[in-house]
Amino acid sequence: MRSDGSPALNALQEQFVTEARELIRQATDDLIVLERHGRSPERIDRVFRAFHTLKGSAGVVELPAMSIALHAAEDLLAAVRQGTLEANAIIIDQALACLDQVSLWVDDFQNGGLLPAQAGDDGRALAERLRSFLPGAQSQKTMTLANSVPSQREATLPIWVSRLMAAEGDALASRVQRRPAVVCAIAYEPSVGCFFNGDDPLQLMGRVPEVLAFYVEPREAFPPLSDLDPYACNLRLLAISAGSHEDVAGVFRLVPDQVRITVIPFDALPIHQSSKQIDNDTLIRKVVEAQVELLGVTHRTDDFAGCVGSAVRAATNALRHGNYLQAADAVTQAGASALSQRDTRPLLVALEQALVALDGARRPAVAEEVDEPNLTSAGATQRSAERVLRVSEAKIETLVNLAGELVVAKNSLAHSAKRVEQELAGREVAGAIRRDHDAIDRLVAELHGTILQLRMVPAGLVFQSFPRLVRDVSRQLSKKVVLVTRGEGTEADKTIVDRLFEPLVHLVRNALDHGIESPEQRLAVGKSETATVSIEASRIGDRFLLQVADDGCGIDPTVIRRKALEKQLMPAEELAALTDDQVIELIFAAGFSTSAEVSDISGRGIGMDVVRTAVEQIGGRVSLQSTAGAGTTVRIDLPTTIAMSRIMVVAAGGQLFGISMDAVSETVRVTPERISRIKNNSGFVFRDRVVPIVALAELMKLPEQERDLTAARLLVVMEAGGRIAALEIDAIRDRLDVVLKPMQGLLAGARGYAGTTLLGNGEILLILDIKELLP
Amino acid sequence: MTVRRSDNGTIILDGTCPVEDAEALLQLLQATPTAGIDWTQCRQLHAAVFQVILASDAATVGPCGDAWVARWEAAQRAQRVPTNQ
């Protein structure tokens, strides 16, 4: 799993990911409750247990960095449990920050089966920071909250470094190929049982790039040989490397808990070097090159052996001097085969390779065993959202499509039945087919419903992150807010629930930023100091309703009117004619912002516009009610599923069109005398409102049909985007459940159409986008 | 066998010496604590085997065949003085 980079997790690891997410969520919730409602032994126990279990599972899947961090957090919570530490906001912040980091690591783990290379350092830094809050920790006062993660890498010179440098003396300087700005001091203390895990600390150290010094010593004095346990590791491996911190950390990725890497400025190293020693490699190079040259001119057979022998001696001595032992060995061997073959070529090849090796040593990062993708991907990989479906989504998608096709097939059966009825006059046969059709209809509906159920997830999934968001944002704004969520179990299609997250974030942030007043303001107007924001999901019929409400200051229509005028959203007289409710709806208009200042909480006033677009994309409607001084409620009305749409098939101008039933309020027949003409437009009064009438045929630029002007006109009253209009049609043909396919290819950009669907007779039906068409 | 005793009593490490060799080497050293260890033929030395050599007073013969160990062995020997952190 590790070395081949394959991201596939085994069952245990998968279970860990699922469990860890659940534990993180639970611990987050409990921490927030702990903060809000204060310390109770039971709550602290729950939090403690969650951290403890997480730590344990991290150990099982061998994520030491995670264990280190969680262990420190556990220590902190243990202190809270014992009562030696107060569970104040700062401590809760620390525990939450730890969970954030762990959550990111879980994502990394899920995506690649391992943690990023710097995880060990980050984990240790996090642990140190957490422990600094423990009672008695010295650094508590000096510690700043914001920038504390990995900045502690640069530290003072460990004592062993000076010791090692003193022993190395000039030899170290001679190994410096390029003068690095910083070096890594590596102290690696393998665990006692590491040999049993198949670790070979010596080999691992051999993979460290650009080693300048290396030393192995016992951690504790060795016992007499008679008492020595050969399989208990008692070694401390120390090294100084000119490689980058990332590369070095990459080598120890699997044992971050056993290694301590300290970055030291090169200048801080106690070495004294002369220019002569720096040029060591150049010298070796010259010696080797000279041998190549000499061999090139030596073809006399009499002293062949002597020439080859001296070239080999000179080259290997030079190479050994520079510690290029492998190259030296290769030259020796090549020399032997050159002698036996009486041909200088093998030796020349070996010498050339030695020269290449010399060059290679100058360039770092030649043979490092660091998985590049894992180093760079940490930021780029999409953080996968919480998955509840354990079945592959592609399979579900296929099922949904299949069921859709089945619906089409069923519709075609209805069409056949109709034809039998009309053309073949076989009424009895037709009746049988109809009954069959009804049966299939019922079965298909059931099948389709069941399949869609597979995609149904509870709304609570999307609510999960809000307690944390509300806590953080309200703290940032110094407001007191309680979040209430209701209807977590209400189910809707996964796509809908997933896509709801962003609009909800906007709405909640808006409520916190603009809606909720400061505690002082609230007290001044006689409200309780703590405000309430509620998110509620419910189901009415086949609609999924989501409501975000706050008991804040509400929206003042006069402010909106003024802003709308300033931004010239519409002419003044039109604005004056709007009711207060209609005015408030204006905040959904693009680019409208009532906040005097741009804040970093709810952005730049594009929020509500984005909310409306996002909700409409998944077939929903959003509306807002607000009472100045009492609060604001935003309602999002959504279909529970988006895979099927109910449409009405209508005829106009000799063609068929589909209209989404979502937009239809009513169908009415209106006698001509009820219709009044105002200039070129006609309209009629419907439920005390003047509704303009639009002829669909005219709208679609179809030729006018002959018609009886005295006959009643068929109108479909529709409401969309806050407007109302009546569409005049010739006839209503059918009501169908269809799988709406978006317009594709050349037609993708065609305005006025929501998509297409296949009718039973194979014809393609265009579904109108009413919102675009209405005047 | 990657660990064996030669006719003259020297312990020879040969080829790739895996972790198990640590025990074999220890047994040989326990029998003759001052026997020399010839590691010139050892291509790769496991840390466990190296640890046994470190823990013993045995002298090594020639440069280690494991290039990585050989490279640092000199420094290792130069520092073979008790160290304290």
Contact A233 B68 (CB under 8 A): no
Chain B residues in contact with A222 (beta carbon < 8 A): 54-55
| CA A15 – CA A109 distance, rounded (Å) | 12
What is the radius of gyration, based on Cα positions, of chain A? Answer: 38
Chain A residues in contact with B62 (beta carbon < 8 A): none
Residues of A (331-390) whose Cβ lies below 8 Å from B: none
The verdict on A323 touching B (C-beta cutoff 8 Å) is yes
Residue A168's pLDDT band (boundaries 50, 70, 90)?
Answer: low
Nearest CA in chain B to A199: B47
Residue A424's pLDDT band (boundaries 50, 70, 90)?
Answer: low
At residue A744, the pLDDT reads 61
Question: Closest to A216 (Cβ–Cβ): which among B50, B56, B71?
Answer: B50
The verdict on A166 touching B (C-beta cutoff 8 Å) is no
Of A209, A261, A270, A210, the C-alpha closest to A237 is: A261
Q: Answer yes or no: are the C-beta atoms of A544 and A567 closer than 8 Å.
A: no
Residue A274 has pLDDT above 60, yes or no: no
In CATH terms, A463-639 corresponds, of 3.30.565.10, 3.40.50.10490, 3.40.47.40, 3.90.228.20, to 3.30.565.10
At residue A177, the pLDDT reads 63
The verdict on A163 touching B (C-beta cutoff 8 Å) is yes
CATH of the domain spanning A645-773: 2.40.50.180
Contact A228 B55 (CB under 8 A): yes
The verdict on A317 touching B (C-beta cutoff 8 Å) is no
pLDDT tens for each residue of A83-114: 888 878 888 888 998 998 999 899 888 887 77
pLDDT tens for each residue of B16-75: 899 989 999 999 998 888 888 988 888 889 999 999 988 887 888 878 888 888 877 766
Per DSSP, A132 falls in state: T
Best of A325, A329, A331 to disrupt the B interface (most B CBs within 10 Å) is A325
At residue A549, the pLDDT reads 93
| CA A759 – CA A648 distance, rounded (Å) | 12
Instruction: Using the Cα atoms of residue A239, residue A243, residue A249 and residue A250 in order, give the sign of their dihedral.
Output: negative
Nearest CA in chain A to B24: A230
The domain limits of chain A are: 11-138, 159-223+230-276, 279-362, 393-455, 463-639, 645-773
Best of A196, A225, A235, A236 to disrupt the B interface (most B CBs within 10 Å) is A225
The residue whose two tokens read 């994309």 is A617
Q: Answer yes or no: are the C-beta atoms of A769 and A753 closer than 8 Å.
A: yes
Nearest CA in chain A to B55: A222
pLDDT tens for each residue of A547-586: 999 998 888 888 888 888 887 777 888 888 888 888 888 8
| Structure token digits, residue A250 | 């990459």
Question: Closest to B75 (Cβ–Cβ): which among A201, A205, A213?
Answer: A213
Contact B55 A222 (CB under 8 A): yes
Q: Work out the end-to-end distance of chain B between its first and last CA atoms, rounded to an integer number of angstroms.
A: 38
pLDDT tens for each residue of A369-418: 333 333 333 333 333 334 444 555 666 776 777 777 777 777 777 777 77
Question: Closest to A163 (Cβ–Cβ): which among B23, B76, B83?
Answer: B83
At residue A739, the pLDDT reads 63
Contact B85 A159 (CB under 8 A): yes
Task: Write the single-letter amino acid at A502.
Answer: E
| Structure token digits, residue A390 | 């354990």
Contact B47 A225 (CB under 8 A): no
Chain B residues in contact with A201 (beta carbon < 8 A): 47
Nearest CA in chain A to B76: A215
Q: Which residue has the higher pLDDT, A27 or A178?
A: A27
In CATH terms, A11-138 corresponds, of 3.90.550.10, 1.10.290.10, 3.30.460.10, 1.20.120.160, to 1.20.120.160
Question: Closest to B22 (Cβ–Cβ): which among A190, A230, A326?
Answer: A230
- DSSP H helical ranges for A618-692: none
Chain A nearest CA to B10, separation (Å): 18
Which three-class secondary structure state does DSSP give residue A737?
A: strand
At residue A591, the pLDDT reads 63
Burial of A314 (0-12, 13-18, 19+ CB in 10 A): middle
Chain A residues in contact with B19 (beta carbon < 8 A): 195, 200, 231
Nearest CA in chain B to A158: B85
Question: Closest to B52 (Cβ–Cβ): which among A200, A230, A326?
Answer: A230
At residue A650, the pLDDT reads 92
Domains of chain B from N-terminus onward? 3-78 (3.30.750)
| CA A292 – CA A334 distance, rounded (Å) | 13
Q: How far is CA A553 from CA A177, A550, A578, in A?
A: 68, 9, 22
Residue A162's pLDDT band (boundaries 50, 70, 90)?
Answer: confident
| CA B19 – CA A198 distance, rounded (Å) | 9
Residue A267 has pLDDT above 70, yes or no: yes
The residue whose two tokens read 């640069």 is A154
Burial of A518 (0-12, 13-18, 19+ CB in 10 A): middle
Residue A59 Ramachandran class (φ > 0 left, ψ -120 to 50 alpha, else beta) = alpha
Q: Which residue has the higher pLDDT, A421 or A330?
A: A330
DSSP per position, A400-451:
HHHHHHHHHHHHHHHHHHHHIIIII--HHHHHHHHHHHHHHHHHHHHHHHHH
Chain A nearest CA to B61, separation (Å): 17
H or E stretch covering A753 = strand A753-758
Contact A167 B78 (CB under 8 A): yes
Interface pTM (ipTM) of the complex?
Answer: 0.90
Question: Closest to B67 (Cβ–Cβ): which among A213, A214, A326?
Answer: A326
Q: Which residue has the higher pLDDT, A98 or A421?
A: A98
pLDDT tens for each residue of A441-499: 777 777 777 777 777 778 887 888 788 888 888 888 889 899 999 988 888 877 778 77
Residue A593's pLDDT band (boundaries 50, 70, 90)?
Answer: low
Report the pLDDT averaged over residues A195-209: 87
Residue A277's pLDDT band (boundaries 50, 70, 90)?
Answer: very low
Q: Which residue has the higher pLDDT, A477 or A277?
A: A477
Contact B75 A230 (CB under 8 A): no
